[in-house]
Structure 1
Amino acid sequence: MKNKTRLLAAALACALVLTGCGPRRTEPEPYPEPASSESAKTVAYVPLDDRPDNVERVAYLAESLGYALAMPEADWYRTALDGQPLNENGTQYGDMGRLYQWVLEQEAAGCDRYILSLDQILFGGLVSSRAVTAEACVVTLPDGGTIHLQKMLENMIAVLSSDPDNVVWLLDSVMRLAPTVGYQGGTLEEYNWLRDFGSLPRETLEGEQLTFEGILDSYSWGPHKENLWNQTAAEHDGVKNEEALSRYLSAREGKLTFSDLVQEILRQPGHENFRLMVGIDDSSLEDCIQKNEIAYLRQGLRTDRAGNPLDWLLAGVDDLAFKAVARMYLDETGWRGGTASVRYYGGTEDSPACDYDFQPLTTVVAEHLDLFGLTESANPLAAELQILVLTQPAEEGAGSAYCEALMRDLRECREANRPVILIDAGNGRYGTAFHEALKKEAELGWLLSYAGFLDMAIVTGTALSHGVARYAYLRNGEESETAERAFARTLADSVIKDFCYKNVVRNDLLAYIRSDLGGDPNNFWTPEIDREAVQARLERGMDSAVKDVIKNLQRSNFFALEPGGEKGWGGVALENYRFPWDRAFEIGMDIRLGVFTEPHERILGIYYQ
C-alpha cells in the first residue's frame, strides 16, 4: 500500500509540475556571487589553517549572521605536508611575522571584532604547533627584523586591549597525543608509539602539585613512578627513538608554555573584552598525558564579576572558529538562552563516541549546551530546540531500529514545525543506511544544522554552533538575501560532504590511489602520483553521488518560525572540486545557488518541485 501511495503522489506531483503549478527549480547562478550592497559587520579572522572547515565554512557561517570576514593572504596561513611546494616564506607553515603585522593593520584601520587562532599566529598552524622548537620562537618580520614569540604575543594583546570597543576571541588548543604523520619527517610508526606513550596513565596532580613544573615532570612517569618510555618501547618491539621523544616532549612543553602565558596576560586588568576558547585536540579516555594539562588550564579560566564565564575549555579543535562566530553573534544580539530537548538513538551516548574522545558523548553535548546558554528539557513538546543524535549502535543487529526511531521523531518535528539540529555520531557504523533514509524520507534543507563528517567531538560543536546561531538569527536578525544564501551553503556543504564524499566517494578514492596509482592517499606528493587522474576520479564520483541529495535540497523548504513564513530552496549545483592539502581526507567545492522559490508543497507526504 505504501508503494502505491508513493507512486500516486509522484504521478500527481509530475502532473502539477507539467501543468505549471507549483515552484520550479531555479537555475544556479555563477559563483562567487557579486559583492552585496548590504551592510555587514567586519570580523578580522586568522584561521587555524587553510582547510575548508577553517576557511570557507567559517565564512559561510559568519555571512549567515550578518558578518563579513576579513582574512590575510591564503599563503600566510597555509600548511604544506612533506614533499609539497613550500609557502612564499620558504617553510611548510604559516608566516607568523606577516600575520602579526596584518592584525596590527586591521586595528589601525578601525576594526573592532577579531577571531584569532593562536596556533596559527604563534606557530604557523595546528600541525606546526605539534612540532614547535626553541628555534621557532624567534619570528622574522616583513621588514627583515626579528621578534621573540613572547614579545610578539604581548604586543598584539596590548594593542588590541587599548580599544575598549574591541571584542577579541583568541582560539587555542591542548596538543593532541602525537604529532602529525607526513610533516617534518613524521612516520606512521613514530605516530603510533608516541600516541601509545601519550595515552598511558600519569599521576593525577591536584592542589599544590598541579603546577607547570609538576606537569613537565609527570610527562615520562606513571602513577607509580614507572618509566613510561621503557614500557612503550617494550610494547613496540624495543623501538626507542630518544630524539623523537625529546622533540615530542619539547613541543608539549612549548605549547603549554604559551597557553599558560596567554592566560596569565588575560588575567591582568584591562582584558575584559577578550574571550579565550581552548579546544582539546585528539584525546583518549585514559588518564593520558593531556589530563594534567587540561586541569591546569581549566583552573586558569576566567569569569566575570557575576560568575559568567569569559573563557572556555571544550572538546574539539577544528570547530573552534564555528563556536567563536556563533557565540560572538549571541553576545551581540543579547541572546538570553533557550531550552533544548536532546534525544539519543543507538544506546551508546554514555560512552566516548570515537577513539579520539576523552569524555562520554552526553558530557560533550552538555558542555556545548552550556556554551550556548541552553537548558536541557526532558519534555520535547516544551523545548524550543530539538537535538536528535544518532550514536553508535549498542546492539549490532538493531541499527535499522535506531534509525527508524530517529526518522519517526524527525518526521513528527517537521509536522509540528519544531526546529531540529541533527547530529550523526554513529562514526560510520551504519554504513550509508541512515543517509539513504534521510535522502528518501526527510526534508534536508529544512534542518537548522547537520554534522557528521569529522571526529565526534567536532561534530557536536559544529552542529550546535550552526544550529543555535541559525535559530538566534531567525529570532533576532534582520532578513537578508546574503545571509540566507550563506546559510544554504552552510547546510548544503555539511550534508553533501558527509553523505556523498565521506561515505561514498572517498572510499573509492582511497582504493584507487593505493591500488591503481601506488600512492599515499594522505599525501599525493610522497610518492608523487598522477594528481590529474585523482581529480578526474573525484569529479566523476561526486557528479554521480550528489544527485539524490541535491534533488532533496531542491524540493526542501527553509525552516521558519511562523507558519506561512517558509520559502523554498532554488537550484543547487557544485563545481571546482579540490583537495586543499593534496590528500584524500577532505575536499573543498563551490556551491552555486538559484533564486529561492515559493514554498514547495506536499502531496501524500512527498514534496514536488
Structure 2
Amino acid sequence: MKRMKRLWAAVLALVLLAGCGRTEPLPYPEPAASEPGKTVAYVPLDDRPDNVERVVYLAESLGYALAMPEKVLYRTALDGQPKNFDSLQRGEPWSLFTWVLEQEAAGCDRYILSLDQLHSGGLVASRSMTGYDIELPGGGTVQIHSMLEQLLTALSADENNVVWLLDSVMRLAPTVGYEGGTLEEYNAIRAFGALPRRTLEGDTLHLEAIAESYWWGPNGENLRSQTRAEGTYEAALRHVRSRDRKMVLSYVVQDTLRKPGYENFRLLIGIDDSSLEDCIQKNEIAFLRRGLRAGEGEDGRQLDWLLSGVDDLAFKAVARMYLDETGWQGTSVIVDYFGDTYDQPACEYDFQPLWKIVEEHNRFFDLLPCNQAAGMYIFILTQPKDETQKSAYIDQLLRALEGNRKQQRPTILIDASNGTYGTAVYDALTKKAELGCLLAYSGMLDMAIVTGTALSHGAARYAVLKNGENTDACDRAWARTLADSVLKDFCYKGVVRNDLLTYIRNDLGGDPNNFWSPELDREDLLRRLEEGMEKETAPVIRNLERSSFLSSISPDGEIDERHWGGIALENYRFPWDRAFEIGMDIRLGEFR
C-alpha cells in the first residue's frame, strides 16, 4: 500500500509539472498585492494599458502601490466616442493639478507625473493644442506656464519628495481620428516632418530659431512655399504651432529644474515616433539634450535623461525609482543579437540603430557590458539580414535560451524583429522554450518601446531578487507583467488582431481604429476577441504553467526557484474602442 501511495504521489507530481493539473479551482482568489507606506502618486500619460494596468503590475512587483486620479480626468476619446464630462476628448489638466496637490497635502512623497497629461490632457492632445490657456471646470482660464510653475514649486517645498517628470519630443505628425485628423493629413504632415532641416548649433540653438527652422531645409529650401504649392500649408501651420507650444512648455520645466531646490526631481524625456532622416525633431532633440542636468546629482549621477520611446516612460521611471531607493550599483550584462541587423533601426519610426538604443538604455539602468560571467543576459531577435536564414536565427535563439535555462542565468528576451518572422518565432518559443523563466519579455506593438519596456521590467526584477526583498505579492505582480506581455504579443498581435482587422474591414466595412466611426457592434467584437484569445492562448498558458521562475539570488549567486500555478484570463476589453491594443485581467493560482 505504501508503495502504491508513493507511486501515486510521483504520478501526481509529474501531472502538475506538465501543467495538466491546477492548484485550485478557477477563478483564483487574489491576496493583497502591495504593502502600505510605499505609495506613488501617478498621473498617467493616458488610459491605454501600457500607461495604466501594466504600470500597476510593475509597481506592485517592486512593493509600491500606485495612487491614480479618476480615469475620466486622464482619458482620451477619439472622434465620435463618448467624451469626458460630455465635452472633452482629453484629460482635464486643472483637476489633475489639484489632485496632485491633494496627494501632497496628504503626505505623499513619491510622484511620477506625465507632463503631456498635465499641460495638454494626454499625449494625443499635446500633438494638436496650440494655445496656452487651460479652461477651468467652473469657468475662466489659467495659463499653463503658471500652473506648471506652481506645481513644481509646491512639490519642491518638501525635501523628502522624489518627483519623476515624464516629457516627450513630439512625433512627426498628429493623430488620425482625433479632432478631425485624417489619414491623408497624417501622411502629408509626416512627410513634411521627415524633411531635413537647417542645423542649429551654439548660440543659434534657441526656441525662436527652432520655431523658424521648421520652415527651412538645410540648403535654404523654403518649406512654406513647398507646402503652399502642395495644398498642405494650413495643416502644416497648425502642426508647427503645436510643436512650438510643446517646446516652450518643455523649456519652462527644464529652466525651473535648474534652479536650487530641485535636486530630488528627475526629468525623463522620450522621443516619440521618429525617422532616421535629419527630420523636424533634430533641433528639438539637440536643444532638450543641452538642457539636461547631467552629472549634477550625488556622486556625479545624471539627473535627467532623453531616450527613445514614450509609451515606456512610466516603466522606466518606476524601475529607476526603485533602483535609486535601494542603492542599486548596477550589474554586468551580456547582450546577444540574433538576426544580424542590430546596426539598423528596428522599424521606420526609430531614429537610431537598434544597438544604440539598447546601449543608451543600458546606461540608464547601470547595466554594464561584459564578455563573461554576467549578472544578466539580454537576448534580442532582430529583423533577418538574410531572409533564407530565418529558421537558423530562431534556432540560434532557442539554443541560447535553453543553455541559459539549464545554467539558471537571469535572461531578458526582446523581440525587435517587427513581425518579420510572422508567427513562426512565437510557435517555436511556445513549443521549445520555457517562457515563464524569463526575467522579462517585450515585443508587443511599437518597436520604439520594446527596449525600454523589457529592460525596465528585467532590471527591476533582477534588483528585487538580488536585494532579497521578494515577497509572494511581488512574485504575483511580476508574473502578471510577464504573462501580459507574452500572451498579448504571441496571441493577440500575432493572430487574433489580424483576424479582427480582416473581419472589421471586409465583413463590416468599418474602421478598426475606431469602433464608433461608423458605429460597430462592440459586443460582437468583444465576443470574437474572447473566442480568439481562448483558442490562441491555450498552448502559451500551458507553457507558462509548466515553467519555473527565479525567486531569489543570493549574494554569492545561488538561485532559488518557484513553480508557476494556473493562469486565468478574464474581462477582455478594447480600452480605446479600437483593435490596436486590448486590456485583460490575469488571475493566478498559487505558486509552488
TM-score scaled by structure 1?
0.92
Q: Deviations over 1:137-196 (max 9, x none)?
A: 222345545321011000000000000000000000000000000000000000001000
Q: CA deviation at 1:456?
A: 1.9
CA distance in structure 2 between the partners assigned to 1:200 and 1:430 by the alignment: 31
Q: Deviations over 1:39-92 (max 9, x none)?
A: 350000000000000000000000000000000000100000000000016110
2:90 corresponds to: 93
The answer on whether the counterparts of 2:113 and 2:166 sit within 8 Å (CA) in structure 1 is yes
User: How big is the alpha-carbon RMSD for the aligned residues of Structure 1 and Structure 2?
Assistant: 1.9
Match of 1:528 among 493, 513, 519: 519
1:312 corresponds to: 305
CA distance in structure 2 between the partners assigned to 1:104 and 1:229 by the alignment: 44
The answer on whether the counterparts of 1:393 and 1:399 sit within 8 Å (CA) in structure 2 is yes
* Identical-pair percentage: 64
The alignment status of 1:77 with 2:74, answered yes or no, reads yes
The answer on whether the counterparts of 1:517 and 1:530 sit within 8 Å (CA) in structure 2 is no
Q: Deviations over 1:400-439 (max 9, x none)?
A: 1111111111111111111000000000000011111110
Q: Deviations over 1:553-601 (max 9, x none)?
A: 100111243657211100001011100000000000000100112xxxx
CA distance in structure 1 between the partners assigned to 2:293 and 2:109 by the alignment: 22
CA distance in structure 1 between the partners assigned to 2:91 and 2:253 by the alignment: 20
Q: Deviations over 1:307-360 (max 9, x none)?
A: 321000000000000000000000000000111100001111001110000000
1:202 corresponds to: 197
The answer on whether the counterparts of 1:119 and 1:129 sit within 8 Å (CA) in structure 2 is yes
The answer on whether the counterparts of 2:192 and 2:236 sit within 8 Å (CA) in structure 1 is no
Secondary structure in structure 1 of the residue aligned to 2:402: helix
The alignment status of 1:323 with 2:316, answered yes or no, reads yes
Which stretch has the larger CA shift, 370-379 or 486-495? 370-379
1:220 corresponds to: 215
CA distance in structure 2 between the partners assigned to 1:144 and 1:34 by the alignment: 44
The answer on whether the counterparts of 1:174 and 1:293 sit within 8 Å (CA) in structure 2 is yes
Q: Which has the higher contact order (CA 8 A, sep 6+)?
A: 1
Match of 2:141 among 127, 146, 155: 146
- In structure 2, relative to structure 1, the CA distance for the partners of 1:36 and 1:412 (3 Å cut) is closer
CA distance in structure 1 between the partners assigned to 2:133 and 2:251 by the alignment: 18
The answer on whether the counterparts of 2:72 and 2:91 sit within 8 Å (CA) in structure 1 is yes
Q: Which amino acid aligns with 1:591?
A: I
- In structure 2, relative to structure 1, the CA distance for the partners of 1:77 and 1:29 (3 Å cut) is farther
Q: CA deviation at 1:480?
A: 1.6
CA distance in structure 1 between the partners assigned to 2:26 and 2:70 by the alignment: 27
Q: Which amino acid aligns with 1:474?
A: L
The answer on whether the counterparts of 1:28 and 1:572 sit within 8 Å (CA) in structure 2 is no
CA distance in structure 1 between the partners assigned to 2:240 and 2:37 by the alignment: 44
The answer on whether the counterparts of 1:570 and 1:593 sit within 8 Å (CA) in structure 2 is yes
2:41 corresponds to: 44
Secondary structure in structure 2 of the residue aligned to 1:404: helix
Match of 1:372 among 343, 362, 365: 365
CA distance in structure 1 between the partners assigned to 2:433 and 2:25 by the alignment: 23
The answer on whether the counterparts of 1:31 and 1:590 sit within 8 Å (CA) in structure 2 is no
The answer on whether the counterparts of 2:174 and 2:239 sit within 8 Å (CA) in structure 1 is yes
Secondary structure in structure 1 of the residue aligned to 2:65: strand
The answer on whether the counterparts of 1:65 and 1:477 sit within 8 Å (CA) in structure 2 is no
Match of 1:392 among 383, 396, 421: 383
Match of 2:155 among 147, 156, 160: 160
CA distance in structure 1 between the partners assigned to 2:260 and 2:10 by the alignment: 69
CA distance in structure 1 between the partners assigned to 2:179 and 2:16 by the alignment: 61
TM-score scaled by structure 2?
0.95
CA distance in structure 1 between the partners assigned to 2:24 and 2:417 by the alignment: 35
The alignment status of 1:125 with 2:86, answered yes or no, reads no
- Count matched residues: 578
The answer on whether the counterparts of 1:28 and 1:595 sit within 8 Å (CA) in structure 2 is no
Q: CA deviation at 1:19?
A: 8.1
Structure-to-structure mapping, 1:251-270, within 5 angstroms: 251-270=242-261
Secondary structure in structure 2 of the residue aligned to 1:223: coil
Q: Deviations over 1:362-401 (max 9, x none)?
A: 000000000001111133xx11110000000001111111
Secondary structure in structure 1 of the residue aligned to 2:300: coil
CA distance in structure 2 between the partners assigned to 1:19 and 1:500 by the alignment: 27
- In structure 2, relative to structure 1, the CA distance for the partners of 1:389 and 1:451 (3 Å cut) is same
The alignment status of 1:116 with 2:116, answered yes or no, reads no
Q: CA deviation at 1:508?
A: 0.2
Secondary structure in structure 2 of the residue aligned to 1:195: helix
Q: Deviations over 1:82-122 (max 9, x none)?
A: 00000016110001111000000000000000000000011
- In structure 2, relative to structure 1, the CA distance for the partners of 1:351 and 1:564 (3 Å cut) is closer
Q: CA deviation at 1:534?
A: 1.0
- In structure 2, relative to structure 1, the CA distance for the partners of 1:36 and 1:509 (3 Å cut) is closer
Q: CA deviation at 1:530?
A: 1.5
- In structure 2, relative to structure 1, the CA distance for the partners of 1:161 and 1:153 (3 Å cut) is same
The alignment status of 1:537 with 2:537, answered yes or no, reads no
CA distance in structure 2 between the partners assigned to 1:564 and 1:459 by the alignment: 27
CA distance in structure 2 between the partners assigned to 1:348 and 1:158 by the alignment: 46
2:334 corresponds to: 341
Q: CA deviation at 1:210?
A: 1.1
CA distance in structure 1 between the partners assigned to 2:29 and 2:197 by the alignment: 51
CA distance in structure 1 between the partners assigned to 2:192 and 2:451 by the alignment: 28
The alignment status of 1:580 with 2:542, answered yes or no, reads no
The answer on whether the counterparts of 2:41 and 2:110 sit within 8 Å (CA) in structure 1 is yes
CA distance in structure 2 between the partners assigned to 1:168 and 1:278 by the alignment: 14
Secondary structure in structure 1 of the residue aligned to 2:368: strand
Q: CA deviation at 1:453?
A: 0.6
Q: Which amino acid aligns with 2:169?
A: V
- In structure 2, relative to structure 1, the CA distance for the partners of 1:509 and 1:21 (3 Å cut) is closer
Match of 1:436 among 420, 424, 427: 427
CA distance in structure 2 between the partners assigned to 1:199 and 1:27 by the alignment: 55
Q: Which amino acid aligns with 1:388?
A: F
Which stretch has the larger CA shift, 575-584 or 137-146? 137-146
The answer on whether the counterparts of 2:188 and 2:232 sit within 8 Å (CA) in structure 1 is no
2:4 corresponds to: none
Q: CA deviation at 1:232?
A: 5.5
CA distance in structure 1 between the partners assigned to 2:313 and 2:38 by the alignment: 20
Q: CA deviation at 1:457?
A: 2.4
The answer on whether the counterparts of 2:34 and 2:473 sit within 8 Å (CA) in structure 1 is no
Q: Which amino acid aligns with 1:275?
A: R
The answer on whether the counterparts of 1:169 and 1:324 sit within 8 Å (CA) in structure 2 is yes
2:585 corresponds to: 590
1:485 corresponds to: 476
The answer on whether the counterparts of 2:224 and 2:233 sit within 8 Å (CA) in structure 1 is no
CA distance in structure 1 between the partners assigned to 2:448 and 2:8 by the alignment: 41
Match of 1:187 among 182, 187, 192: 182
Q: Which amino acid aligns with 1:188?
A: L
Q: Which amino acid aligns with 1:341?
A: I
Q: CA deviation at 1:13?
A: 12
Structure-to-structure mapping, 1:544-583, within 5 angstroms: 544-560=535-551, 561=553, 565-583=560-578
Which stretch has the larger CA shift, 141-150 or 313-322? 141-150
Q: CA deviation at 1:38?
A: 3.5
CA distance in structure 2 between the partners assigned to 1:90 and 1:31 by the alignment: 40
1:17 corresponds to: 12
- In structure 2, relative to structure 1, the CA distance for the partners of 1:239 and 1:565 (3 Å cut) is same
